[in-house]
């Protein structure tokens, strides 16, 4: 594989030859930037390029390089392994979405069935109440006829 620096594309004859690889941006340290994920409340989950030597809570670690990751412009710059990992995660996410969709459909069916069972139960209760009232009147009539 032969590559050129700073945004030039590389070609590869690996099993992923359809994937285009472009090196991550270089910065003051003259080392390829590292793709990181923000954990701040304001930008939680956002991707950014940062100095490979940066260490959290360590003063003067790295050169301070920072650049937001732009999906459209920088997707090609991601190292092959990360790009494949993201592809796998996206596929897993799609599978999870399908499972969730299926589970939601099943939940709606179960809710509908539950509603029908509740209606049936209420109708049964009404019949039972009417039967109890009828039995009470028959008992009362029977008592009246016995006394007379």
Q: Are residues 38 and 91 in the same domain?
A: no
Last residue of a domain, one of 25, 45, 78: 78
**Range of the structural domain that residue 16 is part of:** 1-78
Beta bridge partners of 68: 48
Q: Are residues 8 and 64 in the same domain?
A: yes
**Per-residue pLDDT at 80 exceeds 90:** no
Looking at per-residue pLDDT, the higher value among 75 and 51 belongs to: 51
Total count of domains within the chain: 2
Last residue of a domain, one of 63, 78, 93: 78
**Per-residue pLDDT at 79 exceeds 50:** yes
**Per-residue pLDDT at 49 exceeds 70:** yes
pLDDT band at 71 (very low <50, low <70, confident <90, very high): low
Last residue of a domain, one of 78, 97, 122: 78
Query: What's the DSSP call for residue 5?
Result: S
Q: Are residues 48 and 63 in the same domain?
A: yes
Residues 6 or more apart whose CB falls under 8 angstroms from that of 128 comprise: none
Q: Are residues 68 and 103 in the same domain?
A: no
pLDDT tens for each residue of 119-142: 999 999 999 999 999 999 999 999
Copy the structure tokens of residue 101: 């969709």
Closest by CA to 48, choosing from 63, 39, 38, is 38
CB environment 110-132: b (16+ within 10 A), e (fewer): eeeeeeeeeeeeeeeeeeeeeee
Q: What global pTM score does this model have? A: 0.37
Rg (CA), the chain: 35
Q: Are residues 48 and 102 in the same domain?
A: no
């Amino acid at each position: 594989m032969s590559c050129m620096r700073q945004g030039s594309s590389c070609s590869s004859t690996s099993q992923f030859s359809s994937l285009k690889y472009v090196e991550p941006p270089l910065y003051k340290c003259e080392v390829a930037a590292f793709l990181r994920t923000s954990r701040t409340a304001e930008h939680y989950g956002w991707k950014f390029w940062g100095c490979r030597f940066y260490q959290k809570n360590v003063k003067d670690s790295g050169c301070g390089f920072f650049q937001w990751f732009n999906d459209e412009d920088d997707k090609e710059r991601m190292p092959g392994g990360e790009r494949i990992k993201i592809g796998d995660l996206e596929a897993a996410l799609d599978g999870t979405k399908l499972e969730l969709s299926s589970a939601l459909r099943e939940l709606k069916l179960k809710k509908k069935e539950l509603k029908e069972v509740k209606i049936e139960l209420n109708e049964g209760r009404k019949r039972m109440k009417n039967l109890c009232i009828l039995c009470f009147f028959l008992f009362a009539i029977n008592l009246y006829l016995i006394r007379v």
